[in-house]
A and B are shown apart, each in its own frame.
Chain A
Amino acid sequence: MFSLFLEQLLNGLQSGVMLFLMASGLTLVFGVMGLINLAHGSLYMVGAFACAAVAAWTGSFWLGLVASLMAAALAGALVEMLVIRRLYKRDHLDQVLATFALILIFSEGTRWIFGSFPLFLNVPEALSGTVTIPGGSQYPIFRLAIIVAGLIVAAGLFALIGKTRLGTRIRAGEADREMIAALGINIDRLYTVVFALGAALAGLAGAFVGTTQSVQVGMGEPVLILAFVVIVIGGIGSIKGALIGSLLVGFTDTMGRFLLPIGFEAFFDPASATAIGSALASMLIYIVMALVLFLRPSGLFGTEA
């Protein structure tokens, strides 16, 4: 039981870290450009497909990983320059609609190229075993590796935002759009870079998650909506909020699905306990979100509603 619990905790951590990769890019784009981007999930999908295709072609997961970063960043930069750029000054409704259209284009385009059947990504040889975790059960090394990799990327992102010149510009852009213009920074390029950065992070998450699940059209949207929940909880524009929110959502979701059905067995027969427990577990993160909103309408680290 203890080892099962630990395993679920690790799964929660993994899901939280992957969510952070999605949510951080999304929240940056919100914070810096004031844009709601529904197509962020498509970039996640692009990363997963690029990884799967290149890995299948070259036989190397690592090349696939590089491809996922590059493809997503490239797609992000292209989309920003062709479409998104025209939306910054538009209202949210136009942004929602245009990025919804982008989802249709990305999803259907991917289906056209790769077909409707899911692709599968194999775990690289070097990371394919399992380790024994305290309590005795086996946990895949690869899952541990993506937790570590995700945490390293998260740390890198914090360093980038906090310590580099690009980070200063991004923070300046969040605080005051006119200021960055006054500082003589090329806003267009800054926006493209921020967008491509967010896209690359999403693509990376797609490649990682694609290895543990299947790679298919539409895989991005459920994650996108979870990332929205994360941002609502954490507060728009806050990277720290995105981190806390991601971990909260990752743990709540995973542990809820694990513990609630068990908990309900104390009151119901096993079949109904599983049914009620899992139905309730599927709603749990939204209930958490509603609670956070009720207490802090602008999120844990948000500044404005």
Chain B
Amino acid sequence: MSMNRETILNIVLAALLIAVPVIAQIMGEPFIITLATKVAILGMAGVGLNIALGYGGLVSFGHAAFFGIGGYAAGILASHALNYEPIMEAPFEINGTTQMIVIWIVALIASALVALLIGAITLRTSGVYFIMITLAFAQMIYYFAISWPAYGGEDGLSIYVRNSFPGLNTLDPISFFALCAAMLGIAIAFSAVLIRSRFGLALHGARQNSQRMMAIGIAPFRVRLVAFVISAMITAWAGALYADLNRFVSPSMLSWHMSGEIMVFVILGGVGRLFGPVAGAALYILLEHLLGGMFEYWQLPLGILLLVVVLFARGGLIGLLAGERKHA
């Protein structure tokens, strides 16, 4: 029964996410479209984290690193292209680009490489060590971005014109929203397929019982590492979109606070639930907007609310509305 309820809830969520900006477009409220775009992008970052955190049980507190890498991929490539400065000249010339597709590919590759390195070190540990070390490595990249002056250092990097996508006017809010929503859809569809695949079964298994995994001849480390890399890539992809949404990228995208927020989306929505991160991001941004409008120090009530959710309402929003998680 609750599987059904969750499916219905997911459909309602998806419909709302699409309907709200469409109505806003008709009513001429571009700001609401921007908010919805933000929900789609941050939800997508959470969908990425959910693969590691929800399905793999890997409490990564460093996903801002990947979110930021995606953002910087967009920022750096665009700034080179807009300033007509090649990224390198010898031995061959590499130029920047304003094509989102190229930027995404770069973001995916760069984040995969970094995640492979960080994962190879951090996944040798578990529990609190894993949490602290993922946080520490993300912080390392954060400080690197701050102290490396070539791309704005602490001040960040502006993207003067939003990058382009074939056949689409990305500067038009509703078109850009459609693009982001489509990417979110791809990420959700991919994770839905992934968790039902052979790999998904192994990942679920590694979370439940490492000893058993080894006894049946599957090394949990490799399964987790691949999950960690996939998870990082999706979050980085969202990061590239986020930089384009704001037309700006700065070290704050890499900060521990960002890692915490992405984690909050996942948990507010419901850990290991397909649409959990989207529900969580929507709730978070709604609260930010509503509370922020009433009270300058809106993070105070947000913190209290979050505390209440963790202490008393486990299972997040989806859990609250659709019942306990089931494994089929």
Contact = CB atoms under 8 A, between A and B. Distances in A.
Is chain B in direct contact with chain A in the complex (CB below 8 A)?
yes
A257 B140 CA distance: 14
Contacts of A98: 306-307, 310-311
Interface string A22-49: 0000000010000010000000000000
A289 B304 contact: no
Contact of B128 (A86, A92, A112): A92
B121 interface: yes
A74 to B, nearest CB: 19
Contacts of B135: 225, 228
A300 to B, nearest CB: 13
A104 B53 CA distance: 22
Interface in B302-318: 302-304, 306-307, 310-311, 314
B128 A93 contact: no
B144 interface: yes
A236 B128 contact: yes
Contacts of A97: 263-264, 267, 306, 310
B135 to A, nearest CB: 6
A286 to B, nearest CB: 4
A232 B59 contact: no
Given A290-B121, A305-B126, A279 B144 contact: yes
Given A93-B59, A225-B256, A105 B121 contact: no
Interface stretch (B146-154, B166-174, B177-185): B146-154
B307 A105 contact: yes
Contact of A93 (B260, B271, B299, B304): B271
B306 A236 contact: no
A286 B307 contact: no
B307 A83 contact: yes
Contact of A104 (B125, B133, B139, B303): B303
B197 to A, nearest CB: 24
A167 interface: no
Contacts of B133: 232, 289, 293
B56 to A, nearest CB: 12
B127 interface: yes
Nearest to B298: A108
Interface residues on B, range: 35 or more
Nearest to B267: A97
B303 A105 contact: yes
> Does more than half of chain B's interface fall in helix, strand or loop, or is it mixed?
helix
A225 B271 CA distance: 25
A283 B140 contact: yes
Contacts of B139: 225, 286
B61 A96 contact: yes
Contact of B307 (A102, A108, A232, A293): A102
B121 A236 contact: no
B327 interface: no
B248 interface: no
A111 interface: yes
B149 A275 contact: yes
Interface in A68-108: 83, 86, 92-94, 96-98, 100-105, 107-108
Interface string A249-293: 000000000000000000000000001001101110011011001
Nearest to A236: B128
A59 interface: no
A97 B146 CA distance: 26
Interface in B280-321: 297-300, 302-304, 306-307, 310-311, 314
B303 A102 contact: yes
A225 B148 contact: no
A112 B300 CA distance: 9
A294 interface: yes
21 contacts: A36-B128, A36-B131, A92-B127, A94-B310, A96-B61, A97-B310, A100-B260, A107-B299, A112-B297, A225-B136, A228-B136, A279-B144, A279-B148, A281-B147, A283-B144, A286-B136, A286-B137, A293-B124, A293-B133, A305-B125, A305-B129
Interface of B: 53, 59, 61, 121, 124-129, 131-133, 135-137, 139-140, 143-144, 146-150, 256-257, 260, 263-264, 267, 271, 297-300, 302-304, 306-307, 310-311, 314
